Amino acid sequence: MSAAAQDIATRNAVIARAIIYAVLILFAVYYLLPLYVMLANSLKPLDEIRQGNMLALPQEWTIAPWLSAWSTAQIGVQPTGLKPYFLNSVLMVVPAVAISTILGALNGYVLTKWRFRGDNIVFGLMLLSCFIPFQIVLIPSARILGLLGLAGTVPGLVLIHAVYGLGFTTLFFRNYYEAFPNELVRAAQIDGATFFQIFRRILLPSSGPIIVVTVIWQFTNIWNDFLFGSSFSSVDSIPITVALNNLVNSSTGVKEYNVHFAGAILAALPTLIVYIVSGRYFVRGLMAGAVKG
């Protein structure tokens, strides 16, 4: 190739790269814009929003809308802010995620390392639960919660979410453990380790990536859930998603958009943090077996 031709080729490569970056930046801006609007407007007094320029930075910076959203805003009939509901959500999410993850891991362990007759049918049935729409199980769930005396309580929501998440967590762990060498389990059996010792000492320490995937998945789904939250909660067990709705839809007084924006960000914050902290494991874990074959 001549020097001139090589120069042209190099220049073309630079141009192509520039176009790629331009498009990428454009999309990044496009996706970040809503977050920017929310953030910018949550830090403005209400008057500035009313003037109509949603995209402008605040002229007068204030955190009052955040404080209001957190502790004094009118939620339904109570002026409590989102705080108690945020707490409800934490009390619901943490046990639900923990229970469904631990049971999913045990299920995956049994379904791959302690195979029994009909195990694939059991697994198939559990998979089926991933595809059942939430709405179908509402009435049976309500009946069961009623029978258990858990209707309208946080433990009731924990139970519903843990059970509903089990299909997914089992799928994740089963596929991950499917690729885990059987010979390790056999070696541990010869070493005399029991069912739970093998699980705790051999499998769990190698399960980091899939635990992260499951926790993120379950945390996001349960935290963001609205349907179960609105169906099965009573006044003092309302999760934050439902509370946010009540905040935004309060029909009395003026619409405090800045408070609504702040409240929406507050409600989304935990999932955002979970993603930022462990997001890189998420992709790695998904690659490591959850969606493989």
Least distance to other proteins, CB of residue 39, Å: 42
Least distance to other proteins, CB of residue 33, Å: 45
- Contact between 41 and 54 (Cβ < 8 Å): yes
Q: Which of 118, 133, 192, 253 binds other proteins (CB under 8 A)?
A: 192
Nearest to 109 by CA among 192, 207, 209, 177: 177
Other CB atoms within 10 A of residue 35 CB: 12
From 48-56, 80-88, 148-156, 198-206, span contacting other proteins (CB under 8 A)? 198-206
Q: Which of 183, 235, 251, 253 binds other proteins (CB under 8 A)?
A: 183
Tell me if 122 contacts other proteins by CB under 8 A.
Answer: no
DSSP annotation string for 138-207? HHHHHHHHHHHT-TBSHHHHHHHHHHHHHHHHHHHHHHHHHTS-HHHHHHHHHTT--HHHIIIIIIGGG-
- Contact between 220 and 271 (Cβ < 8 Å): yes
Of 62 and 189, the one with the shorter C-beta distance to other proteins is 189
What phi and psi values does residue 200 have, to the nearest 5 degrees?
-75, -40
Tell me if 178 contacts other proteins by CB under 8 A.
Answer: no
Of 10 and 206, the one with the shorter C-beta distance to other proteins is 206
Tell me if 82 contacts other proteins by CB under 8 A.
Answer: no
Tell me if 206 contacts other proteins by CB under 8 A.
Answer: yes
Give CA–CA dist 165/171, Å, rounded: 10
Tell me if 202 contacts other proteins by CB under 8 A.
Answer: yes
User: Which residues contact other proteins by CB under 8 A?
Assistant: 181, 183-184, 186-193, 197, 201-202, 205-206
